[in-house]
């Protein structure tokens, strides 16, 4: 499909880590989970404009480097103050050692923290 974009190779992201990916004037964050799966979200924290790629991945959680706001990067769910708005997540697939993301989101922007978690369609 036209909107699948190569973000990086699998070796570019260490396990339990995140990298930044800029494309089409937008910034994404590409994650590699401890169980070796790949995920993608918007690159900026929904609280203030900080690059999540500078943050810390702990299990399913990405912690923002600016105010330590936490999200589940698999679902985008904000985990509590100071983040109140969920992250937008994007579908990811791995083909021939390359990590591809579909840059159209799979959830609406601005979901609030008290809304149910979105399913992740990978």
Partner 1 sequence: MADTMKRDYSLVGESTRRAIETGLASAEWYHTDVSRKAMKELMQRSDGPAIRDTVIWIVAILGSAAGGIYFWGTWWCVPFFFVYGVLYGSSSDSRWHECGHGTAFRTRWMNDVVYQIASFMLMRNPVTWRWSHARHHTDTIIVGRDAEIAVMRPPDLLRAALAFTGILDFRYSLPALVRQAFGTLTPDEKSYVPEMEQHKAVIAARWHVAIYIATIALALYMWSFLPLVLIGLPRLYGTWHMVMTGLLQHIGLADNVVDHRLNTRTVYMNPISRFIYWNMNYHVEHHMFPMVPYHALPRLHELIKHDLPVPNPSIWHAYREVWPVLLKQLRYEDYFLKRELPPTARPYRGEFHEVNMSAAAE
Binding residues for partner 1 (CB under 8 A): 17, 47-49, 54-56, 58, 63, 65-68, 70, 79, 81-82, 84, 112-114
Residue 85 C-beta: closest distance to partner 1, Å: 9
Tokens of residue 119, six digits? 């399913």
Report the residue number, 34 or 119, with the smaller CB distance to partner 1.
Answer: 34
Report the residue number, 10 or 81, with the smaller CB distance to partner 1.
Answer: 81
Dihedral angle at the C-alpha atoms of 59, 15, 47, 121, nearest 10 degrees?
-80
Distance CA 3, CA 12 (A): 21
Report the residue number, 61 or 94, with the smaller CB distance to partner 1.
Answer: 61
| CA atoms within a 13 Å half-sphere pointing along the CA-CB vector of 98 | 8
């Amino acid at each position: 499909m036209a909107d699948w974009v190569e973000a990086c190779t699998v070796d570019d992201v260490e396990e339990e880590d995140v990298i930044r990916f800029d494309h089409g004037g937008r910034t994404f964050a590409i994650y590699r989970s401890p169980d070796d799966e790949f995920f993608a979200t918007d690159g900026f924290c929904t609280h203030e404009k900080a690059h999540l790629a500078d943050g810390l991945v702990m299990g399913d959680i990405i912690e923002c480097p600016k105010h330590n706001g936490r999200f589940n990067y698999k679902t985008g769910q904000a985990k509590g103050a100071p983040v109140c708005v969920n992250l937008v997540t994007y579908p990811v697939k791995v083909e021939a050692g390359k990590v591809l993301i579909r840059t159209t989101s799979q959830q609406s922007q601005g979901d609030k923290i008290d809304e149910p978690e979105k399913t992740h369609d990978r």
